[in-house]
Amino acid sequence: MSTSPGRIEIALFAIGFAMATLVLLALLWSGVGPYVDMARASQIAGATFYDHAARADTVSLDLAALTEQHRAWSEYVTGSRRDPPDPGTLYTADEISHMRDVRGVFDAAKILIPAGLFVMAIRLQRARARGMETMLELVRDGAVVAGVALAAAGIVAALAFEQAFLLFHTVFFPKGNFLFDPATSNLVRLYPNWYWMGITFRIGLSFIAVAALVAVVASVGLRRARSTRLASA
């Protein structure tokens, strides 16, 4: 006879699930396609960049050019490109330094994928030793807990997005090199509020959808396992 998983087991599984899934989704949504979709949804056709050499807004980029700028930065911070885009007249040394730190955060975050999977695998193995039903209960309840926790955090962030955004950067970038002047920073022009709000919404909604799907599949499997056990009793 199987026994239900304990709260600590469920919490550990939920943490492992969140660690692996959130990082994977962040990598998925950091690509070019989502950037274009978010720009079009915000009716963005282009932007005027600040020319640091001329000290004036003189570099006009259409959406295709903005997309290429994003592609270069996305490839750099996720590790598929060795060097950052050339500073030239578009990006300052401080902006390059900040994006180098962003790359470091991504490099560290990638470790969370195998770490999260490892935590999940250990909890699943131990639950499976007590029976298939226990393991399926763990998956179902862990996915629900992770989804609810993320939804609650999302509601708080939506009500105070700027404060949450600042807190996130303060924690992960303690050097403070993320504070740029919107009047002259091309990083701010490339990644304004519509981008950060859009990608945060997409990551959060995708996570909740994945968690819900996992919970439903586990519930169906649990129902079938119980039916099989009762039928054979």
Residue 146 structure tokens: 């992770």
How far apart, in whole angstroms, are the C-alpha atoms of residue 32 and residue 18?
Answer: 24
Q: Is the pLDDT of residue 117 over 70?
A: yes
Read off the amino acid at residue 98: H
Lowest mean pLDDT among 51-65, 143-157, 192-206: 51-65
pLDDT mean over 22-27: 94
- 202: which 2 tokens? 């997409």
Backbone angles phi, psi at 40, to 5 degrees: -65, -40
Mean pLDDT, residues 20-36 taken together: 94
Which of 45, 38, 39 is closest to 60 using CA atoms? 45
Q: State pLDDT tens for residues 144-160.
A: 999 999 999 988 888 88
* Across 56-65, 103-112, 166-175, 203-212, least confident range: 166-175
Instruction: Give the C-alpha separation, 171 to 26, whole Å.
Output: 18
Residue 33 makes CB contacts below 8 A (sequence gap 6+) with none
What's the average model confidence in pLDDT over 122-137?
Answer: 93
Give the residue-averaged pLDDT of 17-24. 96
- What pLDDT shows up at residue 225? 86
Whose tokens are 């962030």? That residue is: 157
Q: Can you tell me the distance from the alpha carbon of 192 to that of 225, in angstroms, rounded to the nearest whole number?
A: 50
Rounded to 10°, the helix 132-159/112-128 angle is 140
Percent of the chain with pLDDT over 70: 97
| pLDDT recorded at residue 87 | 60
Confidence grade of residue 162 (pLDDT, cut at 50, 70, 90)? confident
Would the pLDDT of 88 be above 70?
no
pLDDT in tens, 166-195: 888 888 887 767 788 888 899 999 999 899
Q: Which residues contact 165 (CB under 8 A, 6 or more apart)?
A: 196
Q: What is the maximum alpha-carbon separation in the chain?
A: 82
Three-state secondary structure along 128-166?
Answer: HCCCHHHHHHHHHHHHHHHHHHHHHHHHHHHHCHHHHHH
Select the more confidently predicted residue: 47 or 83. 47
Report the candidate in 127, 117, 51 with the shortest Cα–Cα distance to residue 89: 51
Average confidence score pLDDT of the chain: 90
In this structure, the number of other CB atoms found within 10 A of the CB of residue 33 comes to 10
Q: What is the mean pLDDT of residues 63-88?
A: 88
What span, in angstroms and rounded, lies between the C-alpha atoms of 213 and 227? 21
Pick the more confident residue, 8 or 2. Answer: 8
Query: Which residues, listed in sequence order, are joined to residue 49 by a DSSP beta bridge?
Result: 59
Asked whether the predicted pLDDT for residue 233 surpasses 70, the reply is: no
Burial (CB count within 10 angstroms: exposed 0-12, middle 13-18, buried 19+), residue 147: buried
What radius of gyration, in Å, describes the C-alpha atoms of the chain? 22
Q: What is the mean pLDDT of residues 108-137?
A: 94
Residue 65's pLDDT band (cuts 50, 70, 90): very high
pLDDT of residue 2: 56
